[in-house]
Amino acid sequence: MDHKRTLKTLALVALASIGMASCQTDSEDEYVEPGATVITMYAQSFEDWSNSHLIEMRKKFNSIEDDGIQLDIKLFEDSVYSDALTSARENNAAPDIFMISYGNIYHDLIVPGYGEPLNDLMGEAAIDDILPNVLDMVSYNGQVYAYPQLVEPSTLFFYRKSMFATAGVTSAPSTWSDLLSACSKVLPTLRKGQYCLGLPIGTALGWATYGMQINTTGGLAVNDKWDQCLVDSQGYRDLNGFFYDVYAGGYCPAGNVSPKGYTDIIEGLCEDKLAMTLAGSWSIAEIVNDYPDVLDDIGIAMIPTADGDATKCSATNGGWTYAISSSGSNKAKAATVLKWFLSDDTERTADFFKAACYSKAAVTKSVQAYLSANVTDEYKDMLAIVNEVSSLAEAEPKYLWGISTAVGAMFETMAVKCDSSKGDSFRTSTVNNAISTAVQTINSLISASDYQTNPYLS
Amino acid sequence: MNSARPLVDNEMFRLDKKRHNRFTYRNQWVAYLMLLPAFALLTIFVVTPLVMALIRSFQDYNTSAFVGLQNFEYIFGTDLFAKSFRNVLVMTAIITVVMIVITFLFALVLKAMNNKFGSFVKIVIFIPFFISGIAASVIFTLLTNYGGGLITSILVSLNKDPVSFTSDEVLAYAAIIIPTLWLGFGYNTLVMYAGLINIPNDYFDAAKIDGASWWQTMVHVTIPSMRNYLVLIIVNLITTSMQMMEIPLIMTEGGPLDETLTPVLYLFNAFRDPSRPANATIAGALVVMVVIMGVNIVVFRLLQSKRSEDA
């Protein structure tokens, strides 16, 4: 082990120690099978309901008395999860199963070789059950590297029915012009501290607008090979123009109305600060759990788009998967656990989505069909929208994050520089200047000597 | 020769020197032993990291291969890094000027108090010095938070529009500069106060006899006598302001449009971004160190030349 590795290991051990201190375990009244093989699972800690569900599932799994497997789950906070995993690997104690997001599968799983291909381990039936657009997100060179648990569309449109009714808006807007019209009606009915429309701000503009970019421009900021900037196009001009118009109209708050920004922007809607907002599907669970009183007053729809075409992608799918460590010595047993959790029993897997108040979309055909058939009336509309948007959604791009931040900065420029007192020529020049800055930034990234083009095309 | 003859002065001096040298040589190892912890700590925590950083800045992070000036070329070719220097220089200039003016004026008030209340005020203004930048930022976030901070609440209750400290370029600067001034106000005021009370009263009496006005006394007596204290404060302010990270991170995240991004915050973000070369970040850290050292050397040189003139 060289010095660099030693220092890195020491640093990671220290960080992991902090992480272990913050990880949650729960071992009350749990059956311990004598002589069983212990399968370790690392997972990220999320909302209370999500953590409780995972722990409950572990208890159920461990109550099986004759499978020869004992499951040990460690939950880590987001901030230490990656370090805990790295530290375990450096110390030859990698967990048998670990959680990983779709966006990290290539760089953090496939490239370093940490993930075992699952086709044989999970079996043909489990693999074939995965929805086609999700299967693409977990596959590389024909091999599945992670078994999906859920997908979450990053952008849905939420609105307050009562505020719409007060303003005389009769339905959820489907186009940008509908949206601007709705905003112009809602604005006079608001008091100070209330706003028409919540949009992602700051860093979130980099990732929460992927769906809008795909919908408006037919693609993203770079071509499929990632070696050519596509931002200087009419589609991006239109999208920038949309951001300019909503901010110049005074319809959007200038800052975040919620503590964590876009990820909990739904708080603003539930607390009467916003009349409508873009938000991820995860917000549904937050509304149900934290704001049950306003649940009936909240409507959900696909986001308004330039042309209102509801058959086009309007969001990207993010979410979580589970992978099996390539260095593990109990891969078959780890696969048994994964199958028990995610594919053997449709009803058991569907329980997670019920606990999530249908705020996440199922990733297998069987679970999606089961949920559609068994959803209660209360959640029927929500589930339908989430499934519809999710089925059209594309995976989040894996290109350099700097490209996404350059695009986010371009949209942010509209919010910061817009001026309603100036005419169309100022609007045009603001849009053009922002585009040329973004193009310059992206081209400088592409021209860097260590820039990597799309490995999925090579 | 009379053995009882008293030693003459130069003989006593030779004897003392001899004893002194014997003592020095005999106890030299004790001195080195006592210095050892300091040397060891400096070596482990200052010299070694510095040397390692220097080596890494000429290497590829993954392969450790020698890459010449590639990391420095990357960092100098990054527009954002250059922009972060421009930002921090503006912030540093504002902070330094404002801090010196307000702390000097407040120190004058403190000196005039010179009673129990003055002691109480000194303690109160020094309290923020013990608070970390992160904690101070959190405190100020409670005031400036757009969604429900104190300022927003007051404005809304007055039927005014809330102001966003994160999306307005001027207010974003204010959101960083005000907590910084608040944190350093107590310490710098006390340094100024120490400088003021150390000026001999004779100077003021002489000025009074010569018929100098309050302003003339201030310009020709008080301020020149405070020169060394002012230099200490200026060097401190320049060094700490140019290394600012926590307050911009918490208050504005470097926004809007990277207008409040500082070099250290840029390096912090870059090091956590796996798509950016890690060793270029280290090269950037060395550049920041050299720039801060350079600025301080200029300030010290100015001080030296002034002392030479005095001499």
Cα dihedral sign, B62-B65-B70-B71: positive
The amino acid present at B9, given as its one-letter code, is D
Mean pLDDT of A187-194: 94
B63/A contact by beta carbon, under 8 A: no
On whether the CB atoms of residues B131 and B250 are closer than 8 A, the answer is no
- Strand segments, DSSP code E, in A97-155 are 97-101, 139-140, 143-144, 147-153
Burial code (b: 16+ CB inside 10 Å, e: under 16) for A140-177 equals beeebbbbbbbbbbbbbbbbbeebbeebebeebbbebe
State whether A255 and B164 contact (CB < 8 Å). Answer: yes
How far away is chain A from the Cα of B45, in angstroms, using its nearest Cα? 14
On whether the CB atoms of residues A39 and A70 are closer than 8 A, the answer is yes
Domain A24-76+96-153+318-374 has CATH 3.30.460.10: no
| Of residues A383, A380, A335, the one with CA closest to residue A359 | A383
Find, in chain B, the residue whose alpha carbon is nearest to that of A410.
B257
The confidence score (pLDDT) of residue A457 equals 80
The confidence score (pLDDT) of residue A405 equals 92
pLDDT digit string, tens, across residues B194-215: 999 999 999 999 999 999 999 9
Residues of chain A neighbouring B165 (CB-CB closer than 8 A): 255
Give CA A290 to chain center in angstroms. 20
pLDDT digit string, tens, across residues A303-353: 999 999 999 999 999 899 999 999 999 999 999 999 999 999 999 999 999
B276/A contact by beta carbon, under 8 A: yes
pLDDT digit string, tens, across residues A262-311: 989 999 999 999 999 999 999 998 999 899 999 999 999 999 999 999 99
Identify which of A256, A268, A402 has the shortest CB distance to residue B275.
A402
pLDDT digit string, tens, across residues A109-130: 998 899 999 999 999 999 999 9
Please state, in angstroms and rounded to a whole number, the distance separating the CA atoms of residues A447 and A450. Answer: 9
Find, in chain A, the residue whose alpha carbon is nearest to that of B75.
A448
Residues of chain B neighbouring A399 (CB-CB closer than 8 A): none
* Cis peptide bond upstream of A188, omega within 30: no
The confidence score (pLDDT) of residue B21 equals 63
A439/B contact by beta carbon, under 8 A: no
Q: Indicate whether B38 pLDDT > 90.
A: yes
Report the C-alpha dihedral over residues B296, B299, B300, B304, rounded to 10 degrees.
170
Mean pLDDT of A243-256: 95
Please state, in angstroms and rounded to a whole number, the distance separating the CA atoms of residues B302 and A355. Answer: 69
A364 forms beta bridges with: A130
A255/B contact by beta carbon, under 8 A: yes
Give CA B267 to chain center in angstroms. 19
Residue B298: pLDDT band with limits 50, 70, 90: confident
Mean pLDDT of B81-100: 95
Residue B112 vs residues B105, B186, B267: alpha-carbon distances, Å: 11, 17, 45
Please state, in angstroms and rounded to a whole number, the distance separating the CA atoms of residues A234 and A70. Answer: 57
Q: Which tokens in the block code for residue A17? A: 């120690």
Average pLDDT value over all residues in chain B:
87
Please state, in angstroms and rounded to a whole number, the distance separating the CA atoms of residues B262 and B273. Answer: 16
The confidence score (pLDDT) of residue A82 equals 87
Q: Indicate whether B2 pLDDT > 80.
A: no
Residue A312 vs residues A69, A221, A315: alpha-carbon distances, Å: 45, 18, 9
Do the domains at A24-76+96-153+318-374 and A156-314+396-457 have one common CATH topology?
A: yes
Find, in chain B, the residue whose alpha carbon is nearest to that of A107.
B274
The confidence score (pLDDT) of residue A124 equals 94
Q: Which tokens in the block code for residue A393? A: 């959604």
On whether the CB atoms of residues A187 and A419 are closer than 8 A, the answer is no
A195 forms beta bridges with: A274
Q: Indicate whether B22 pLDDT > 70.
A: no
How far away is chain B from the Cα of A142, in angstroms, using its nearest Cα? 26
The confidence score (pLDDT) of residue B1 equals 42
Please state, in angstroms and rounded to a whole number, the distance separating the CA atoms of residues A212 and A196. Answer: 19
- In which element (H, E) is residue A266 found? helix A266-270
State whether B277 and A450 contact (CB < 8 Å). Answer: yes
On whether the CB atoms of residues A156 and A126 are closer than 8 A, the answer is no
The burial of B166, by beta-carbon neighbours within 10 Å (0-12 exposed, 13-18 middle, 19 or more buried), is given as buried
Mean pLDDT of A198-208: 92
Residue A209: pLDDT band with limits 50, 70, 90: very high
Most confident of the ranges A391-405, A429-443, B25-39, B288-302: A429-443
List the alpha helices (DSSP H) in B43-159: 48-56, 70-76, 79-113, 116-126, 133-144, 150-157
The confidence score (pLDDT) of residue A13 equals 56
Residues of chain B neighbouring A414 (CB-CB closer than 8 A): none
The confidence score (pLDDT) of residue A433 equals 97
pLDDT digit string, tens, across residues B120-175: 898 899 999 888 889 999 999 999 999 888 999 999 899 888 999 988 889 999 99
Residues of chain A neighbouring B71 (CB-CB closer than 8 A): none
Find, in chain A, the residue whose alpha carbon is nearest to that of B52.
A4
On whether the CB atoms of residues A288 and A357 are closer than 8 A, the answer is yes
- Domains of chain B listed by start with CATH number: 79-310 (1.10.3720.10)
Domain residue ranges of chain A, discontinuous segments joined by +: 24-76+96-153+318-374, 156-314+396-457
The confidence score (pLDDT) of residue B74 equals 86
Q: Indicate whether A434 pLDDT > 50.
A: yes
How far away is chain B from the Cα of A147, in angstroms, using its nearest Cα? 25
Contacts of residue B258, defined as CB under 8 A and 6 or more positions apart, other chains included, come to: A409, B80, B83, B84, B87
B17/A contact by beta carbon, under 8 A: no
Residue A155 vs residues A210, A269, A289, A386, A387: alpha-carbon distances, Å: 9, 15, 20, 10, 13
Q: Which tokens in the block code for residue B171? A: 């207010």
How far away is chain B from the Cα of A272, in angstroms, using its nearest Cα? 11
The confidence score (pLDDT) of residue A458 equals 66
Residue A69: pLDDT band with limits 50, 70, 90: very high
Average pLDDT value over all residues in chain A:
90
How crowded is residue A245: how many other Cβ atoms within 10 Å of its Cβ? 19
A457/B contact by beta carbon, under 8 A: no
Q: Which residue has the higher pLDDT, A66 or A388?
A: A388
Q: Indicate whether B10 pLDDT > 90.
A: no
The confidence score (pLDDT) of residue A11 equals 58
How far away is chain A from the Cα of B239, in angstroms, using its nearest Cα? 28
Give CA A222 to chain center in angstroms. 21
pLDDT digit string, tens, across residues B40-90: 999 999 999 999 999 999 998 777 889 899 899 888 888 889 999 999 999
Give CA A408 to chain center in angstroms. 17
Residue A250: pLDDT band with limits 50, 70, 90: very high
Mean pLDDT of A199-218: 94
B257/A contact by beta carbon, under 8 A: yes
How crowded is residue B63: how many other Cβ atoms within 10 Å of its Cβ? 8
B254/A contact by beta carbon, under 8 A: no
A364/B contact by beta carbon, under 8 A: no
Task: State the count of interchain CB pairs (< 8 A) between A and B.
Answer: 72
Residues of chain A neighbouring B162 (CB-CB closer than 8 A): 192-193, 253-255
Contacts of residue A53, defined as CB under 8 A and 6 or more positions apart, other chains included, come to: A351, A352, A355
Interface test with B, best of A450, A453, A454 (most B CBs within 10 A): A450
Residues of chain B neighbouring A203 (CB-CB closer than 8 A): 253
Per cent of chain B over pLDDT 90 is 55
Half-sphere exposure of residue A442: CA atoms within 13 angstroms, side-chain side: 27
Q: Which tokens in the block code for residue B28? A: 């030299």
The amino acid present at B110, given as its one-letter code, is L
The confidence score (pLDDT) of residue B304 equals 62
B217/A contact by beta carbon, under 8 A: no
The confidence score (pLDDT) of residue A17 equals 54
Q: Which CATH code, of 3.40.190.10, 1.10.3720.10, 3.30.1280.10, 3.30.1360.170, is assigned to A156-314+396-457? A: 3.40.190.10
- Dmax over Cα atoms in chain A, in whole Å? 77
The confidence score (pLDDT) of residue A140 equals 92
